[in-house]
Structure formats: C-alpha cells, structure tokens
Structure 1
Amino acid sequence: MWHFHQRLQPFTAISFDLDDTLYDNAPVIQRAEQLLADHIATAWPSVSDLDAHAWRKLRDAVAAEDAELASDMTALRLATLTRGLTERGISLHKAKALASEGMEVFLHARNDVLIAPEVHTLLAELATRYPLVAVSNGNADIYRLGLGDYFERAFHPGEGRRGKPYSDLFVAAGAHLQLAQPMHLLHVGDHPVSDVQGALRYGAQAIWFAPKAPPVEMTRLPHATIEDLHALRHLLT
C-alpha cells in the first residue's frame, strides 16, 4: 500500500538507505553488539562487566553530546569503545587499538545479512532503468551484503562528510550522478528525519518506507509513503 502526499516529479536516479529499508537491521545489530561485547570482555577481562546493554547506553550518551558524531555510526562506535576503555584505566593508545580490533568483529557480524529474494528482484529491475546509489549513515558494505551488482556506489559518513539529515552525502551522490538538479534524485528510506527530511533539505524527492511506523509529525511531508517494497515496485516499475 502507498499514499501520495505530493506529486512525484520526473527523476533520473534513485538512492536507497540500507539499514531497516532493504532488510530488518535490529536483530543484525543486536547480534553484532553482543559479539563485540563478548570480544572486548575476552580481550580485556577488567571490563567484562560492560555487557552489550551497557555499551549501548554509553553509545547513546556519547551520541547525545555531538550531533555530527551521532550521524556517523562508525565514528560513534569507535568513540564509544575508546571512552569506555579509557574510563576503566586503559591507556588511550591501547584503547584505540582494542576499539579498532573490536570494530572489525562488529563489522563482520553486521554485514552477515540475508537479503530477501524480492529485494534482489526489485533492485535488479530498477538498476536496468535508473542509476542506483546507496546513501546510509551506517557501516553496511554493499558488496559484503551481496548488493554490489545493483548500486553504482555507496555513500557513508566520513572523510569530512556528515551523515543524514545533513546534506553532505546527498551532495556527494548528486555530484557522482551528475544530476542537473537535486530534485532529479529520488531517495527511499525508513527514517522520518534522516531520510525524509534529509533528502528534502537537499532538494531531492523522498519516499518514506514505513512498514510499522506510527504516525509522525513532520515539518515537511515526503512525496509518498509506502508500507512495503512491493508498493515501491508498483510505483516505479
């Protein structure tokens, strides 16, 4: 099912968020965070009382202190690990090394995702008609996810680029796609702020993927809301 809020204008490219748009990310992250906590506890027993829940609370506290850092999930998680370890008396040098090592454990698990066949079918069909890019604040790897054949490129925070809802990633995507105007990009994502407001702020068109989302008050409405990716297929193919 879908709902139009304003008329879609012609577009020449599509960008997709990844996490919670093309797959359910919550159980993936929960497992990855548990494996990360177990790894840190094994490598440094003095912090073994910091379980996945404790690390999550610390991450939220670190994110609340810095909005730009909060939009870059890799930098945020590294900062969280480093702080948690240094607060337990571990040297900064050692803490950074352990954090980097832990991130590799986390990234391996967070990219262990089974993508539904219908998602592959949708992206394969769309890729024959439009250039596709991924625009994500997370650290999923399109190649490790098995989606690299569909996307020209993936854009993530880092190297001076802030995450959504800042426009940096959309600007980079637009430059790569050589868009004549920002409105020629159609962005599809699940987050009402990062994806919808972020895309609209840049000047793109936005489709909100909201399969289970309650009503949300938005300063600006997306062009359309969809409840499943089948609806997107009907809209765009």
Structure 2
Amino acid sequence: MQYSPAPMLDISKIKAITLDLDDTLWPIWPTIERAEKALSAWLGPQAPGAAAVFADPQARLALRQQVVRSQPEIGHDLSALRRESIRLALHRANEDTRLAEAAFEVFFTERMQVDLFDDARPALAFLAARFPLVALSNGNADVGRVGVGEFFVASLSAQEFGVGKPDPRIFHAAASSAGVASDDVLHVGDDAALDVLGGLGAGMQTVWVNRHDHQWSHEAQPHVTVATLSELCDLLQAAPARPSWVVSCRLSARRPV
C-alpha cells in the first residue's frame, strides 16, 4: 500500500493540547488486572458465584458481551458496563444484586491506582506550562483521583459525552472546553485509529505515542510519531512558557500519592 507523506507539524498553530490517558500516560492492563483481582476478592465471601465469574477472563468477557447486546445504549460507558456486568453475574448466580454498587466501587477505587510512565508527570508539567491541557478518553479514569488533575483545565470522557473517539464530536467538544477551535489543537495519544485518525478527522494536528515500536498501517499519517512523551516535549521546546513557570520536561518523575 502507498502511504501519504506525513504532514508537517506547525507548532505556531497549537493553542491547546488534548491528551489520551490509558496507555498514553500509564499502562492500563496491569491496572485492570489488579482491579479485577480486588473485585473477585471482595465478592468471594459474599457472592462466590459472581466472584468465580470475574476470576475467569473468558467468563468475564462473555458477561460483558451479553450486557452490550442487551443494553447497547451504554456501550460507550465503561463504568456502566462494569456495574451492569456485576449485577448480571450476581443475578445469574442467584446472589444479592444489591451488592453491585459496592462491588463496582471496589473495582473503581483500584482502577484509579495507576502507575504513571516515568515520562508522564514531568511531561505533563512541561506541557501544562505552555498550553491548556484537556484529558480526552474513551475510558473511565478520573484525572483527579488518579493524581494528575492539577495539569488539566478540563477532562472529557465518552461516558460523560455520550460518544467516544474517533467520533469528531468529542474532539470538537474537547477543543471548545479549552476555548479554541479544533484546528488549533494538538491531539496526543497511543491508539492509531481512535487518537490519530480520530484527531485528523476532527481537523486537529496529531501525535502518535508509539511506545512499543508498532508499525503504522493506515494511509493517513500522524503529524509526529514519538516513542516517549519526553520526545514530544523536546519537539515543543520552542513554545513559550507561561509567566512564572520554569519547568523541565526531564525532571524526575514522581508517582501520584
């Protein structure tokens, strides 16, 4: 296949940055695995039937798929999907479905305990010193509970907005939340289709964060590909810092407390 040449990044046009969260700022699957274990452990003494379902990845997936089929209107809302999956597991096991809300909170609390990539916190400090940052995610992470809310002027998720990436409407809404036009935004994310193609479709400049050296397989190209967020900061060194900010992208990373 012939690919179009990558467009040139125009730093002078950037007035705001939208950032994906899962697998861009932290690895998501270790977090989800810990949350699944916490959920199963909590359910075990009170609802062993449901606990067994959530301890089995295939049974868990089948349950989720059943919820999506029966309630397609919540397919974009990962919190609702999780909550209803727990409720369905309890129902099928003839256990107390009233446990669903408390069980979800156990899962969600653990899901917020992310381990940031080493470059994430210093990069957020560097970028936030230069541009308004908006979190833009199809997931259900809460940037405040995760411990990085201080860097963002706004946060928009698919479950709040009603549609997710790559739908251009959520990108446009994110731009509006920063008070700029979509073509003044740089979108940064790890997912080739959801982040890069979605951002391009919304008229934004895009950065593909390719931490694992994947091959690009789409005709349209990101404006920039980086292996780390530190590389992105290096590219944006020319962007002026806001008054009173003196930040280095390569400061030692500190995990959220």
| Structure 2 length-normalised TM | 0.79
Question: Partner of 1:190 in structure 2?
Answer: 190
Residue 76 (str. 1) matches residue 81 (str. 2)? yes
User: Could you say what the CA RMSD is over the residues aligned between the two structures, in angstroms?
Assistant: 2.4
Q: Shift in Å at residue 225 of structure 1?
A: 1.4
Question: Partner of 1:123 in structure 2?
Answer: 124
Residue 174 (str. 1) matches residue 175 (str. 2)? yes
Q: Which of 2, 15, 18 does residue 21 from structure 2 map onto?
A: 18
Q: Shift in Å at residue 158 of structure 1?
A: 2.7
Q: Shift in Å at residue 115 of structure 1?
A: 2.6
What is the identity percentage for the equivalent residue pairs of Structure 1 and Structure 2? 34
Q: Shift in Å at residue 232 of structure 1?
A: 0.9
Q: Shift in Å at residue 219 of structure 1?
A: 4.8
Question: Partner of 1:58 in structure 2?
Answer: 63
Question: Partner of 2:200 in structure 1?
Answer: 200
Q: Shift in Å at residue 138 of structure 1?
A: 1.3
Bigger radius of gyration among the two: 2
| Secondary structure of 1:115's aligned partner | coil
The count of aligned residue pairs is 229
Aligned equivalents of 1:125 and 1:233: distance in 2? 7
Q: Which runs of 5+ in 1 are unaligned?
A: none
Aligned equivalents of 2:140 and 2:152: distance in 1? 15
Aligned equivalents of 1:88 and 1:168: distance in 2? 40
Aligned equivalents of 1:117 and 1:47: distance in 2? 36
Q: Shift in Å at residue 134 of structure 1?
A: 0.5
Q: Shift in Å at residue 234 of structure 1?
A: 1.1
Aligned equivalents of 1:60 and 1:222: distance in 2? 32
Q: Shift in Å at residue 168 of structure 1?
A: 3.6
Which amino acid is 1:103 matched to? Answer: F
Q: 1:154 to 1:100 in 2, by over 3 A?
A: same
Q: Shift in Å at residue 40 of structure 1?
A: 2.6
**Residue deviations 1:25-76 (CA, integer Å, cap 9, x gap):** 2111111111112223333123343124122443255457877644332122
Aligned equivalents of 1:115 and 1:46: distance in 2? 34
**Residue deviations 1:90-113 (CA, integer Å, cap 9, x gap):** 5xxx53x43322221111111112
- Match runs of 1:24-35 below 5 Å: 24-35=27-38
| Structure 1 length-normalised TM | 0.85
- C-alpha contact 2:167 2:198 (8 A) present in aligned 1: yes
Q: Which runs of 5+ in 2 are unaligned?
A: 238-257
Q: 1:184 to 1:217 in 2, by over 3 A?
A: same
- C-alpha contact 1:17 1:134 (8 A) present in aligned 2: yes
Q: 1:110 to 1:187 in 2, by over 3 A?
A: same
Question: Partner of 1:36 in structure 2?
Answer: 39
- Match runs of 1:87-102 below 5 Å: 87-90=92-95, 95=97, 97-102=98-103
Q: Shift in Å at residue 172 of structure 1?
A: 2.1
